[in-house]
Amino acid sequence: MRKNLIAKESPPLKGRITVPGDKSISHRAIIFAALATGETQVTKLLEGEDVLRTIAAFRGMGVEIERLEAGSYRIEGVGLDGLAEPNDVLDMGNSGTAMRLLTGLLASQPFFSVLSGDESLRSRPMGRVVEPLRKMGAKISGRDGGKLAPLVIEGQELIPIEYNSPVASAQVKTAIMLAGLNTAGETSVTEPALSRDHTERMLQAFGAEVQRDGLKVTIDGWPDLVGQKIVVPGDISSAAFPMVAALLVPGSDITIEGVGINPTRTGLLDLLLKMGGQIEQLNPREEGGEPVADLRVRHSQLQAIEVPVDVVPRAIDEFPIFFVAAALADGQTVLRGADELRVKESDRISAMVDGLSRIGVVLGELPDGAMIQGIWERLAGGADVESYSDHRIAMSLSVAGLVSHNPVKVLGCDNINTSFPGYAELMQSLGADIVWGG
Ligand code: S3P
């Protein structure tokens, strides 16, 4: 049975919270720990379903991964050549990151493997990683000529390439770098805009030679990766939901502690500040090579903006909740240059246009974005809205319910567990009126 969330007009949100660990960093911590030699200890790891899929995949390839306590793991690295052939299909569930990163890694491993996932993942584009990996000599097949999973990988010795990526995608960049790790020589990727750089940072921390020259990143094959201690920062992509909720619900004043503020991830902060959002970064510090701060957020009347196109890659996961902020801003907000949103866990442009228009917002759908007409005080609400089984659509529409005259029921919220286990309960602890319901 699908689980639904019911969100109602909320009293002011108050309190201090922490959000679960960063999803991108958590996947990478498991992957690099497995490929290093010696022990890695990871704390505050995201125990969402996506990361649990990555853990299960590495266990399936013979890596010892021990859960010490909640969020705390010990991984016994096997080295770049120590993975064992998995004896079953590796099921990546809903996780595009796990699927694409492992495709890169497994292309250069001397064994056979098959990667698959849920219905959403099996409809997402894989050609963007398969095509450059084939240029390296990879043998990968799949549906539609390798554009769609399941993917069948016959691991090979690869040759290094210099790849010019047509998309700013950290998953593409990382897939190629992972293939390059196990390949003699220098492999490089140049992107049209800088995508999140957690791979570069973490690989350097594990001891790899990573050079950056503008938008080009180069990795030297066969580095000696050595086990590390990693503290995963709070996920800014999860913090985005209580953050926007506090900006929108009158009288709110909350603090979200220990949020990762890597500049390749803070596009939403920049947009909300530009709209007049009162967000303060307190106690800035560094944890495990990543910048972190506490974010104090207070209710603010937002102004509509035109989203600068260069911010898009730095805010790519946050547009569903940004749509909700724009729906309560004064004026018309315009987003363009965000066609990547159409190939996420759902088509996030049409999913948000559908959901918000059902609760009284006037939006115009564009091929690469949307025009959103802000409503000053409250949305109408009073409708059932579809999450399209997308965790971020589900959470975004539930936040919209907190500032609606009538309750909003969000249908099919099970996948919130992929990235933000405990979401509804954490929002309740701030005073939000969000409950699980039939
Ligand atoms: C991610 C990269 C982004 C992002 C995804 C996580 C990563 O995808 O949307 O949630 O961890 O590398 P793209 O690389 O497709 O932009």
Instruction: Look at ligand 1, atom 10, and give the residue with the nearest C-alpha.
Output: 317
pLDDT computed for residue 372 by the predictor = 98
> Given this model, what pLDDT does residue 1 score?
66
Please state, in angstroms and as integers, the Cα–Cα distance from residue 360 to each residue in 149, 324, 377, 380, following that order: 38, 12, 12, 5
Question: Of 175, 197, 231, which marks where a domain is finished?
Answer: 231
Of ligand 1's listed atoms, the one at least distance from the Cα of 199 is 12
Q: Does one domain contain both 180 and 238?
A: no
Compute the distance between CA of residue 385 and CA of residue 397 in angstroms, rounded to an integer: 8
For residues 228 and 411, give the distance between their C-alpha atoms in angstroms, rounded to a whole number. Answer: 41
Q: Check if 165 has its Cβ closer than 6 Å to any atom of ligand 1.
A: no
Rounded to 5°, angle at Cα 338 from 289 and 192: 60
DSSP labels, 309-329: GGGGGGGGGGHHHHHHHHHTS
99/239 same-domain check: no
Nearest residue by C-alpha to atom 15 in ligand 1? 169
**What share of residues in the chain are helix, strand, coil (percent, to 5)?**
35, 30, 35
Q: Which tokens go with 188?
A: 């490089």
Which ligand 1 atom sits closest to the C-alpha of 27?
A: 11
Same domain, 154 and 239: no
Q: Which of 231, 258, 289 is the last residue of a domain?
A: 231
Residues 394 and 430 in one domain: yes
Asked if 432 and 420 sit in the same domain, the reply is yes
317 C-beta closer than 6 A to ligand 1: yes
The span from the CA of 383 to the CA of 48, in Å, is: 29
Q: HEC string of 345-387?
A: CCCHHHHHHHHHHHCCCEEEEECCEEEEECCCCCEEEEEEEEC
Give the bridge partners for 151, in sequence order.
115, 142
* 208 in the same domain as 74: yes
CB under 8 A, 24+ apart: contacts of 44-47: 44/71, 44/72, 44/231, 44/232, 44/233, 44/234, 45/21, 45/71, 45/72, 45/73, 45/232, 46/20, 46/21, 46/22, 46/71, 46/232, 46/235, 46/419, 47/20, 47/71, 47/421
User: DSSP 3-state assignment of 11?
Assistant: coil
**Using an 8 Å Cβ cutoff, are 314 and 270 in contact?**
yes
CB 244 within 8 A of CB 315: no
State if residue 24 touches ligand 1 by the CB under 6 angstroms criterion. yes
Residues 92 and 224 in one domain: yes
Spell out the residues 6+ positions from residue 213 whose beta carbon is closer than 8 angstroms to its own: none
Half-sphere exposure of 61 (CA within 13 A, CB side): 33
From 165, 198, 231, the end of a domain falls on 231
- What is the number of the ligand 1 atom nearest to the C-alpha of 317? 9
Check whether residue 10 and residue 111 sit in a common domain: no
Ligand 1 in reach of 316 Cβ (< 6 A): yes
- Start-to-end Cα distance in the chain: 10
Task: Indicate if 317 belongs to the active site.
Answer: yes
Its sign, for the CA torsion 204, 208, 211, 215, is negative
Residue 144, C-beta contacts closer than 8 angstroms, at least 6 positions apart = none
The finding on whether 170 has its CB within 6 A of some atom of ligand 1 is yes
Domain co-membership, 336 together with 212: no
CA of 241 to the centre of ligand 1 (A): 18
b (16+ CB within 10 A) / e for 94-115? bbbbbbbbbbbbbbbbeeebbb
What distance separates the 2 farthest-apart alpha carbons in the chain? Answer: 61
The pLDDT, as a whole number, for residue 416 is: 98
Q: Whose CA is nearest to atom 9 of ligand 1?
A: 317
Q: Where are the beta strands (DSSP E) in 9-70?
A: 14-18, 37-43, 64-69
Ligand 1: nearest atom to the Cα of 169: 14
Which residue in the list 91, 197, 317, 390 is annotated as catalytic? Answer: 317
Instruction: Kindly state whether residues 263 and 200 are assigned to the same domain.
Output: no
In the block, tokens 């999913």 appear at 351
User: Dihedral, CA atoms, 301, 305, 309, 314, nearest 10 degrees?
Assistant: 0
Could you give the number of structural domains in the chain? 2
Contact 265, 236 (CB under 8 A): yes
Q: Any idea what DSSP says for residue 192?
A: S
Tokens 């050595």 label which residue?
226
Same domain, yes or no, for 207 and 306?
no
Model pTM above 0.85: yes
pLDDT for residue 247: 98
Tens-binned pLDDT, residue by residue, of the chain (438 aa) = 689 999 999 999 999 999 999 999 999 999 999 999 999 999 999 999 999 999 999 999 999 999 999 999 999 999 999 999 999 999 999 999 999 999 999 999 999 999 999 999 999 999 999 999 999 999 999 999 999 999 999 999 999 999 999 999 999 999 999 999 999 999 999 999 999 999 999 999 999 999 999 999 999 999 999 999 999 999 999 999 999 999 999 999 999 999 999 999 999 999 999 999 999 999 999 988 899 999 999 999 999 999 999 999 999 999 999 999 999 999 999 999 999 999 999 999 999 999 999 999 999 999 999 999 999 789 999 999 999 999 999 999 999 999 999 999 999 999 999 999 999 999 999 999 999 997
CB of 13 within 6 A of ligand 1: the answer is: no
For residue 9, give its domain range: 4-21+233-437
Distance 312 CA to ligand 1 centre (A): 13
Q: Where are the beta strands (DSSP E) in 85-227?
A: 90-91, 112-116, 139-142, 148-154, 162-164, 186-190, 210-213, 216-220
Q: Which CATH number is 133's domain given? A: 3.65.10.10
Q: With a 6 A CB cut-off, is 169 part of the ligand 1 pocket?
A: yes
Query: Is the same domain home to 181 and 50?
Result: yes
